[in-house]
Amino acid sequence: MKIKLTNIVPFIFVWLWSTGFVTAKLGLPYIEPFFMILIRFLLVIAIFYVMVTLLNSHRVNQTQALQQIVVGMLIHGGYLGGVFFAIDRGMPAGITAILVGLQPIVTSIAGWMFLNEKLNLKQITGLLIGFVGISLILLDNSQVGSSELSYVGIISCLVALFCISLGTILQSRYAQKSPLISGTLYQFVGAVLIVGIMTFLLEDQTVTFHLNLVLSMTWLVFGLSIAAILLLMYMIREGEVAKVSSYFYLVSPVAVFQAWLYFDEQLGLQSILGATLAVAGVYLVHRKTAGKKIIDIESAAASS
């Protein structure tokens, strides 16, 4: 049976997105989190600038540039900064993925509260199931308060979750019509402003050169920030963006599996049940109209 490329691209895209959590953990022992992101973003800006120039991509106007800078400060700077800081403080990569994976739920609540977007019964059920699931994880006595699941790590994940949710709302409300490539370039410019300030305020820019760090940085730049965006562009061209959003509920379990495979991170039975409920809740909430799916996926994908 012949398999269409558009049928496998969404799975590749989701897999790429999920690898960010374990890849960050691979490199963070050798570099401070905000400094690592700063170097990554500077490399990505250079690459995207070359892409915009060579492809003669549509340029953003001044208003769009400012909008994308603000969105980038939240989606790239705040989100990834919170994720990397949490993992650097000992937060398991799998649980980090689960916590920030609640973004569709938080975004839906924010859309209902501030954008007058309606929630149907299925989405309300998803919100409740997701809340119960994440509560089970955070109340697991085998992990909360331990070195594996610190309150600092939880707060960092919540900050990341807030930033990506707010960034998605702003992208949805004001900046969804910006050109993809040049708009993403300005998003990373905004992100550099945030992580640059954080690294020079909180860190010493200390680096221990190691093969794991080189591999981690290479994958984060080319595997996520470049390849994931190119796949998104392909899906947009093929009209598959709306369809791919239904696969996003797989990100958390895939990240948990990778964390177990590469770092032997274990989850207790209560946390496994909680993760299952959280994923189910996200899936139910994320089953929206095609138009809204396009907005959500473009915003989320840009953060890789």
pLDDT of residue 20: 81
pLDDT of residue 299: 44
107-125 in b/e burial notation, b at 16+ Cβ within 10 A? bbbbbeeeeebebeeebee
pLDDT of residue 6: 58
pLDDT of residue 217: 92
- Examine the pLDDT at 144 and tell me if it is beyond 70: no
Which string of DSSP letters, residue by residue, matches 124-192? Answer: HHHHHHHHHHHHHHHT-TTTBTSSSB-HHHHHHHHHHHHHHHHHHHHIIIIITTS-HHHHHHHHHHHHH
CB 175 within 8 A of CB 183: yes
Q: How confident is the model at residue 168 (pLDDT cuts 50, 70, 90)?
A: confident
Total count of residues recorded for the chain = 304
- Examine the pLDDT at 293 and tell me if it is beyond 60: no
CA-wise closest residue to 289 among 40, 82, 123: 123
Q: For residues 43 and 47, what is the distance between their CA atoms, to the nearest angstrom?
A: 6
Instruction: State percent of the chain over pLDDT 70.
Output: 73
Q: Could you tell me which residue, 273 or 114, shows the higher pLDDT?
A: 273
pLDDT of residue 130: 75
Predicted structure pTM score:
0.73
Instruction: State percent of the chain over pLDDT 90.
Output: 15
Q: What is the mean pLDDT of residues 119-130?
A: 77
| Structure-token pair, residue 169 | 């709302």
pLDDT of residue 73: 92
pLDDT tens digits, residue range 214-267?
A: 999 999 999 887 887 677 656 655 544 444 444 556 666 777 777 777 777 766
Q: Which residue has the tokens 């989320």?
A: 300
pLDDT of residue 192: 93
Domain extents in the chain: 14-302
CA-wise closest residue to 239 among 2, 1, 10, 3: 10
- Examine the pLDDT at 24 and tell me if it is beyond 80: yes
pLDDT of residue 298: 40
pLDDT of residue 146: 47
pLDDT tens digits, residue range 33-55?
A: 899 999 999 999 998 888 888 87
Neighbours of 135 (CB within 10 A): 13
pLDDT of residue 268: 73
pLDDT tens digits, residue range 91-100?
A: 877 777 777 7
Range among 25-34, 176-185, 226-235 with highest mean pLDDT value: 25-34
pLDDT of residue 200: 92
How many Å separate Cα 223 from the centre of its chain?
14
CB 97 within 8 A of CB 157: no
pLDDT tens digits, residue range 53-69?
A: 887 777 888 888 888 89
